[in-house]
């Protein structure tokens, strides 16, 4: 692979920004620690910073060569931190303000999808008060989720009127603006985009109606299948749509795009994009890069750093070379 910047240019300092105050704090801390450990093994001088009011002063005092944005949720993943770092004159990883902000907002993302001709579930947007007082929303079943949020926190699958009436008992999990979306029955799949390439699509097998927080982060509750067991044309469509959305939003370096495939109706629906994919031990993007390209976690982190600093133009050709060598890992089923 391209030579690590840490080895090629001497010791470079990287501040790993994680934690924060969003509901996804614990996921961010786990991913941030894993990234920092990888940076240390690679030879970088990595420092973990838990985002708080003191972070600006700490970053200015450190003056790191790069800030690795390992934050999730509001403030960290929605473009706020990216904009702050830009004002401070500090280079950072992942997508910048516009792509992060639009990608975090499920309603804005759906408007982009419509302009691109990409299919997505029918939806409506309601305030918390409207949602709790409405007599009818969408035909059952439907899913309620925060307009801006991730890790399936605050997401509810509603299959009956009684379940809808019970929603008031979970009012504390609802945000001020919620999206109500038709429930798409079928296969849950995720596509990894990395360094301008749609790498591959993974299928997720789990118990229950939705890919829950526990299914994502509790070992043994979800089986990962790669490549996803999809018809060849549908598999190709996941790659096409994921890359098209990534490019349209102007995403940087990496993203993960989530889909549901309705087997009965042979319909693929794009659910959302994640411009800051997870980097925990159960995260799918690093796993796809390993299974499709043979890149271990440390190599993935190193390439993210290289891309953020804009050094070593060989990295995209390197990904192409790896994908060419492992083309047999693409699905052969029809």
Q: How confident is the model at residue 334 (pLDDT cuts 50, 70, 90)?
A: very low
Q: Residue by residue, what is the 3-state secondary structure of the chain?
A: CCCCHHHHCCCCEEEEEECCCCCCHHHHHHHHHHHHHHHHHHCCEEEEEECCCCHHHHHHHHCCCEEEECCCCCCCCCCHHHHHHHHHCCCECCCCHHHHHHHHEHHHHHHHHHHHCCCCCCEEEEEHHHHHHCCCCCCCCEEEEECECCCCCCCEEECCHHHHHHHHHHHHHCCCEEEEEECCCCEEEEEEEECCEEEEEEEEEECCCCCCHHHHHCCCCEEEECCCCCCHHHHHHHHHHHHHHHHHHCCCCEEEEEEEEECCCCEEEEEEEECCCCCCCCCHHHHHHHHHHCCCHHHHHHHHHHHHHCCCCCHHHHHHHHHHHCHHHCCCCC
**Model's pTM, two decimal places?**
0.90
Whether the pLDDT of residue 187 is over 80: the answer is yes
Q: Is 176 labelled a binding residue?
A: no
Is 163 a known active-site residue? no
Is 151 an annotated catalytic residue?
yes
Topology of the domain covering 187-329: D-amino Acid Aminotransferase; Chain A, domain 1 (3.30.470)
Mean pLDDT, rounded, for 23-32: 92
Is there a catalytic annotation at residue 13?
Answer: no
Domain 5-94 has CATH 3.40.50.20: yes
Segment 287-309 shows an average pLDDT of 96
Q: Is the per-residue pLDDT at 327 higher than 50? A: no
| pLDDT surpasses 80 at 113 | yes
Where are the chain's structural domains? 5-94, 122-182, 187-329
Q: What is the pLDDT of residues 197-210, one digit of tens each?
A: 999 999 999 887 87
pLDDT in the model for residue 330: 44
Of the residues 175, 255, 283, 287, only one is catalytic, namely 283
- Say what the pLDDT of residue 333 is: 34
Average pLDDT of the residues in 217-227: 85
Determine the pLDDT at residue 129: 87
If you average pLDDT over residues 277-287, what whole number do you get?
A: 93
Q: Does CATH place domain 122-182 in 3.40.50.2300? A: no
Residue 258 among known ligand-binding residues: yes
Annotated ligand binding at 272? The verdict is: yes
- What confidence tier does 331 reach under pLDDT thresholds 50, 70, 90? very low
Q: Are 122-182 and 187-329 in the same CATH fold?
A: no
Say whether pLDDT at 54 is over 50: yes
Mean pLDDT of the chain: 89
Of 4, 22, 24, 287, catalytic = 24
Q: Which of 151, 181, 203, 255 is catalytic?
A: 151
């Amino acid at each position: 692979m391209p030579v690590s910047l840490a080895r090629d240019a001497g010791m470079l300092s990287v501040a790993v920004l994680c934690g924060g105050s969003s509901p996804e704090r614990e996921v961010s801390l786990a991913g941030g620690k894993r990234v920092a450990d990888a940076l240390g093994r690679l030879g970088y001088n990595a420092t973990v910073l838990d985002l708080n009011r003191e972070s600006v002063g700490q970053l200015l005092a450190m003056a790191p060569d790069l800030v690795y944005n390992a934050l999730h949720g509001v403030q960290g993943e929605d473009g706020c931190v990216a904009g702050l770092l830009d004002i401070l004159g500090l280079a950072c990883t992942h997508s910048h303000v516009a792509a992060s902000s639009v990608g975090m907002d499920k309603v804005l993302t759906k408007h982009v999808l419509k302009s691109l001709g990409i299919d997505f579930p029918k939806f409506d947007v309601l305030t918390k008060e409207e949602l709790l007082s409405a007599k009818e929303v969408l035909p059952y079943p439907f899913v309620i989720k925060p307009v801006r949020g991730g890790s399936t926190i605050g997401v509810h699958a509603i299959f009956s009127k009684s379940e809808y009436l019970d929603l008031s008992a979970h009012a504390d999990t609802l945000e001020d603006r919620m999206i109500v979306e038709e429930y798409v029955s079928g296969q849950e799949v995720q596509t990894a985009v990395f360094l301008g390439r749609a790498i591959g699509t993974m299928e997720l097998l789990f118990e229950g109606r939705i890919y829950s927080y526990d299914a994502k982060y509790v070992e043994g509750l979800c089986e990962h299948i790669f490549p996803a067991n999809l018809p060849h044309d549908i598999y190709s469509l996941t790659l096409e749509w994921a890359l098209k959305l990534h490019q349209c939003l102007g995403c940087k370096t990496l993203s993960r795009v989530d889909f549901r495939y309705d087997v009965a109706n042979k319909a693929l629906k794009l659910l959302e994009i994640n411009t800051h994919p997870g980097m925990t031990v159960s995260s799918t993007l690093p796993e796809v890069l390993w299974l499709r390209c043979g890149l271990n976690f440390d190599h993935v982190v190193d390439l993210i750093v290289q891309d953020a600093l804009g050094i070593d133009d060989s990295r995209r050709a390197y990904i192409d070379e790896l994908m060419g060598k492992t083309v047999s890992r693409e699905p052969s089923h029809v």
